[in-house]
Amino acid sequence: GESVGLHLPTLSVQEGDNSIINCAYSNSASDYFIWYKQESGKGPQFIIDIRSNMDKRQGQRVTVLLNKTVKHLSLQIAATQPGDSAVYFCAERLQGSNYKLTFGKGTLLTVNP
């Protein structure tokens, strides 16, 4: 089956609210995870990454949480803005896979003004 997947294909939030995008992965041997944002007509843009020896990492307005016990990854966006509207992908790298990334299906985030 697919190694990486997203529970919610779409997410609609109000401007100013916090957003949480979830991702499940099935391979416990994955050691590196990345979140990407893809706006319409553009290539994926790196947001934040986390390694398997961490459970939390913060960036500017974004936080990634990794729960290795249940193989779950989440991206939290604080004070969501209309410019955050995009498709968000999680990607995992299997340890020793020579840098190959496996991408999840993606979640469409829509921010309502």
Interaction of residue 49 with another protein, rule CB under 8 A: yes
Q: How far is the CB of 99 from another protein (least distance, A)?
A: 5
Interaction of residue 101 with another protein, rule CB under 8 A: yes
Smallest CA-to-CA distance from 95 within 43, 51, 34, 65 is with 51
Interaction of residue 58 with another protein, rule CB under 8 A: no
CA distance 77 to 21: 8
Count of residues interacting with another protein (CB under 8 A): 21
CA distance 59 to 25: 22
Report the residue from 11, 24, 34, 75 that binds another protein according to the rule CB under 8 A.
34
Q: Pick the stretch among 20-28, 58-66, 69-77, 94-102 that binds another protein (CB under 8 A).
A: 94-102
Q: Report the 10 Å Cβ neighbour count for 65.
A: 17
In this structure, is the dihedral angle defined by the CA atoms of residues 68, 70, 73 and 75, taken in order, positive or negative? negative
> What residues make contact with another protein under the rule CB under 8 A?
32, 34, 36, 41-46, 49, 89, 91, 93, 98-101, 103-106
